[in-house]
Amino acid sequence: MPSANVAEAWSAFWAEQGPASRCLAHAPPELLGPLDDHWRGLATALAPMGTVLDLGCGAGAVGRLLIEAEPRLEVTGIDLAEVPHSNNPHLKLLSGIAMEALPFPDRTFGAAVSQFGYEYGRTEEAAKEVARVLVPGAHLSFLIHHPDSPLVAGMRLHRTAIQALCGGQVREAFVAGNADALNQCLEALKRQYPDPIIDQAAHGLLIKIRQAPAQRQAIWNAVEEALAPERIMLEALDDFRVGHHDIGYWLDPLSKDFEIQPPAVVRVRRGEPISWLIQGQRRS
């Protein structure tokens, strides 16, 4: 999938969310807690290095956690998408920057972090750039999507629900003005996909179905346009998640310039995996 399409989709997402949001805002606390705890725990270890580069920063959730835990840190986040501006003097968020072409001098940063961002880059090129802008001995800590994570499963279900909603039967019934057929389609989807997007769409479409034919077509076009960015982001998740058999190959580019620890797994208390944890240090 072209990175430009993904960047545009994320730009639309952040424009709607606002400056203090996070891409996992609706995830349950039992999934967010271990991720947040990781960053808070890491902050003290990063403090002597001072400057941190956050790859795929979004609205700066990781940077804010690091700075809250250790105010001595200065975090610079970069993202290919258009992301919100930061009002925190210790947190700089830069839009439209690819991790494969970082606009920083050699040896600028004392650490690099990423939460569900680095895996969306071209890892061969990104690994070289990250190594270039880090000082020798710099710490690296990445959280990347685990294939068995409830987060991944939930997003995949959400994607399937959106695909079903945008399918031919719902569209045909709505555009034709057939309220009974539309209601039957939507009720079937509700039973099959327990996702709020179905309820939200059902409420709006059943109200609007009495509009004139041209208006119904325009409304449907607007629905598909509104859902397009989310569909692109969810498709990208499937494209870039790292499976059990791929993790070693995926780490090879980083291993050229970093001493990488064996991959660990961040888990919820009941044992389910949330993410891979990739950590290492820049070689001298």
Superfamily of domain 3-147+241-282 in the CATH hierarchy: Vaccinia Virus protein VP39 (3.40.50.150)
CA–CA separation, 130 and 43 (whole Å): 19
Cβ atoms < 10 Å from Cβ of 214:
8
- Domain layout of the chain by residue ranges: 3-147+241-282, 150-238
- Phi/psi of residue 166, each to 5°? -85, 5
Terminus-to-terminus CA distance in the chain, angstroms? Answer: 36
What pLDDT shows up at residue 153? 77
Distances (CA, A) of 173 to 62, 193, 211, 226, 250: 44, 19, 13, 19, 45
What pLDDT shows up at residue 13? 62
What pLDDT shows up at residue 166? 85
Taking only the tens of pLDDT, the chain with its 284 residues reads: 445 666 776 566 666 665 555 665 556 677 788 899 999 999 988 877 799 999 999 889 999 999 999 999 999 999 988 888 899 999 999 999 999 999 999 999 999 999 999 988 888 999 999 999 999 999 999 999 888 888 777 878 888 888 888 888 889 999 999 999 999 999 998 888 888 888 888 888 888 898 898 998 998 888 888 787 777 767 766 666 677 777 888 899 999 999 999 999 999 877 888 889 999 999 98
